[in-house]
A = this chain, B = another copy of it.
Amino acid sequence: MTEFGFIDTLRTLCADLPDNGFEGIGDDCAVLPVGEGRSLVFTADLLVEGVHFLRAATSPEELGAKALAVNLSDVAAMGARPVATLLSLALPADATDEWAVRFSEGYHALSQRFGVALIGGDTTRSDGGITINVTAIGCADSAHLKRRSAARPGDILLVAGRLGASGAGLQDLLDSRYDTPAAAVHRNPLPQVEEGEWLGRRPEVHALMDLSDGLASDVRHIMAQSHVGAAIDLECIPVADGADLRLAACGGEDYKLLLSADPRCAKSLADDFLLRFGTPLYPIGTIESSDRLRWLQNGCEVLLDWKGFTHY
């Protein structure tokens, strides 16, 4: 059973459970309104040795930071500010005390950078490899929360950074080239925490999510949740140094924010973003009233079977 197959099974089975005030599965985070116009958001990510990382190809500090980063990115993708995490860690006997301390230091450093509390978790022995689960909690004004379901036909699609560096880095790592700039990007994802919170406050931003499985895959979540289609201009996709167009569209783990915005305000939004963060918001296409993803080259559709990155 694939990851999505199992999630569908669980979702179907659990549809009859009470929601207890939480908004259901389907976005980067679950949402709980807590009164006074505020909401909390919740997300969890699991990192498994041999599937998500190779111990020989990443330092313990990098792994500690990455386990946190991917969760902070999910919180940012809601327009929320991360406030706390719970860290669960299964450690085999061959992970030394020094490894555990250095892992903790990486986790701590990124927590400190973004002002996130560590409020709990669990630690245990493992008979297999290292497994890490992080649950992150964020908060936001309820009116500022952004959802995948909010895209509207005519919206401009924008991405908050260049794409493909992480995918190129993964290829380097799999080829045992550990010291390339792209490999360093892959091992050290930086979540767009401040960018997410800033975009959350902008009403002209409609749908928002983070790119973890690749643009070609992730944009389909916005399409499905918003019941819309999309057209992406291949020549507008911002390709990171060391990557190519296909990696930029299909590579995973870039952790850049993808958003749809009111077409009347997209230009001023990007101008303000550049002023605030010193980097552009790149317009890459438009939301359409269909259920299709169209790739355009010089305005003409090209047929591509591009899919996102998958661990399976």
Contact = CB atoms under 8 A, between A and B. Distances in A.
Interface string A2-26: 0101110110011011111110110
B133 A20 contact: no
In this complex, the interface size class of chain A, counting residues with CB under 8 Å from chain B, is 35 or more
Interface string A38-67: 101011111011111000000000000000
Contacts of A30: 84, 86, 119-120
A135 B46 CA distance: 12
A261 B50 CA distance: 49
Nearest to A120: B30
B311 A124 contact: yes
A128 interface: yes
A51 to B, nearest CB: 5
B127 A9 contact: no
A20 B122 contact: no
Contact of A45 (B9, B10, B49, B122): B122
A115 B44 contact: no
Given A50-B128, A128-B129, 15 more contacts: A6-B100, A6-B104, A7-B123, A13-B105, A14-B108, A14-B118, A17-B115, A30-B84, A30-B86, A35-B36, A43-B86, A46-B131, A48-B124, A51-B127, A125-B311
B86 A126 contact: no
B25 A119 contact: yes
A148 to B, nearest CB: 14
Which A-B residue pairs are the 6 nearest by beta carbons?
A128-B128, A30-B119, A133-B133, A50-B127, A135-B135, A34-B34
A101 interface: yes
A111 interface: yes
Contacts of A19: 117
Given A13-B105, A100-B6, A127 B29 contact: no
A67 to B, nearest CB: 12
Contacts of A89: 6, 46
Interface in A91-123: 91, 97, 100-101, 104-105, 107-108, 111-112, 115-123
Contact of A91 (B6, B21, B29, B45): B6
Given A7-B123, A52-B124, A116 B86 contact: no
B122 A13 contact: no
Interface in A125-168: 125-129, 131, 133, 135, 137
A76 to B, nearest CB: 16
Contacts of A6: 89, 91, 100, 104, 123
A46 B90 CA distance: 8
A20 B125 contact: no
B131 A25 contact: no
A135 to B, nearest CB: 4
